[in-house]
Amino acid sequence: MNHDDLLNTVKALAKGWTLPPHDDKTQATVQHWLDRCDADDAAREALIDAFYTELSFGTGGMRGKMGPGINRINATTIARATQGLANHLRAKHGDAKGLRVAVACDSRNQSQEFAQITAEVLAANGFEAWLYPALRPTPQLSWTVRQLGAVGGVVITASHNPPIYNGYKVYAEDGGQVVAPDDRNLVEAVRAIPVDAVIERNSSGIHELDATWDEGYRDMLKSFSLSSNLRSQGSDLPIVFTGLHGTGALAVPPALAHFGFRCVHEVASQAIPDGNFPTVASPNPEEGPALAAAVALAREVGAALVMGTDPDSDRVGIAVPDGAGDFVLLNGNETAALLTDHVLSKWAEAGRLDTPSFVAKTVVTTTLLEKIADHYGVAVRETLTGFKFIAEAIRQEEGSMQYVVGGEESYGYLVGSEVRDKDAVQSCCLLAELAHELSLKGESMTQRLAALHARHGAYKEGLVSLVKEGREGKAQIDAMMEAYRNDTPQTLAGERVVELRDYASGEIKNAEGLVVGALSQARSNVLQFVTDAGSRVTVRPSGTEPKIKCYASVCRPWNPEASSHEEIMQALQNQVQAHFKALGVV
């Protein structure tokens, strides 16, 4: 389609958005674009970008910029998605009467409005819509689905994306995000609804989830406490926490208090939920600047631990004393290793690993977790990226193996199976518990990490994300993936590539390009290069953002008598950067 034809098609679609039932602001914005698009480049591009394609409803929901148009998150696209969900649930479960669906939202702009619309569309379709009246953590919604005996759930969130974004995450009856075959059936149900369909809504028949559900969630979290000293004595360990203007600001401090922590310092300027996230460039605890204010407060109060959660409280980033008077940020893999070792050691002491057990990780999470699990005699399930696959593994193993702990490199972790999504509220409590236990022994987090490296080998990981926005960006990402797939590098950073794992085809190929094995995971557009030195370099398009992501994981044995921990980690960091350079992403 040439540019003129595209513009004419877009204009025809957009005209309907200048009329009711669209709100006055939407009508005025779209009319302005239509009036100006022939003479104003900015108005023309805004119009085209908003209407040239439908916002993709992927296998777990949708995420996008807010605003008018079929390629945006707005009241119309939220209502259409919910009608598709209602149709899908009826097809799966039959008559909607008596079937429950839980709904929650985070602190983003319009999140509560969109949650209300979601509940109203579900109610109009005959479902019992159970709605949290204000923001709640995403993992609490997962737990609520299970406690309610609901057939599904929805969270309005765009996780850690910039303020202009919002999204729609769908959960199945087990409390995990939808997976195959339900995900494909749901996508088809949403796409079957015309983009201009008028969706019925009903504000009556919505049930409110009151404060007793918050208390129940905190009690459930407390049941995972592993420290007898903390349970009996409490803790005055100084801790700094920031919710980065999100749901963690309301959920984490009470949960920490429930665990027994009496000396929690909050970053006051970031303790107020605000969808504009005014004090940070990005509300993403994976990025160091997001924790800058918390680290500054930690220096003032002499904290033993700094923690920050993203807007929907499923990810947590931490900083710990570096032993030289300052703080060091730990990456998601390092935190996952510390948490996994803490939980497995405590479960082993209590005899809870006497039954078959497993740890879960994704294909881009550090293989150090495998070494730690093997040390405790625990199996490992490796899944595709996305915590929904870890939730699927938990469901698949129920009755044969107990799930203990799992994590993603992207700062998401879960202990036990009461929740079926990564849970930063729980993680904050258990990481604070680990810090408390270490303090009793005169040991630090960095010392414990060094001890793990001395026992299992030193590991270091890195991530580079290249942003490629819009239609051209998607084409560039597709071209990069095809180039990596069809022209596999023979070496990376001086290491010979011995395997190509193609998760799209499910094939494992050797250096000569011959198929030598098959992958057990579901199909996904992910490529992983394995070298003769044990390095793993992985590339994949993001499923939620206009990015291509490149991961590198390197390792080598470490003898503490031959070099310091700082020296070995710096050498590994140099190796990580060399891999990125060889791949052409830095």
* Number of residues in the chain: 586
Cβ–Cβ < 8 Å for 535, 554: yes
Q: What is the token pair recorded at 387?
A: 């915590």
3-state helix/strand/coil string of 552-582: EEEEECCCCCCCCHHHHHHHHHHHHHHHHHH
Contacts of 353 (CB under 8 A, 6+ apart): 344, 347, 376, 377, 378, 404
Q: Which amino acid is at 71?
A: N
Please indicate whether residue 159 is annotated as part of the active site. yes
* CA 465/CA 83 separation, integer angstroms: 34
Among candidates 241, 236, 237, which has minimal Cα distance to 252? 241
In the block, which residue shows the tokens 């930063």?
424
Of the candidates 517, 516, 529, 540, the residue with the CA atom closest to the CA atom of residue 384:
540
Whether 360 contacts 340, CB under 8 Å:
no
The answer to whether 66 and 166 have CB atoms below 8 angstroms apart is yes
Give the rounded distance of the alpha carbon of 508 from its chain centre. 27
Dihedral of CA atoms 29, 32, 37, 43 in degrees, nearest 10, equals -50
Q: Taking the chain, what is the end-to-end CA distance rounded to the nearest angstrom? A: 35
Which residue out of 107, 159, 235, 410 is catalytically annotated? 159
The Cα 105–Cα 126 span in angstroms is: 21
Q: Cα separation of 413 and 156, whole Å?
A: 21
- Catalytic residue list: 159
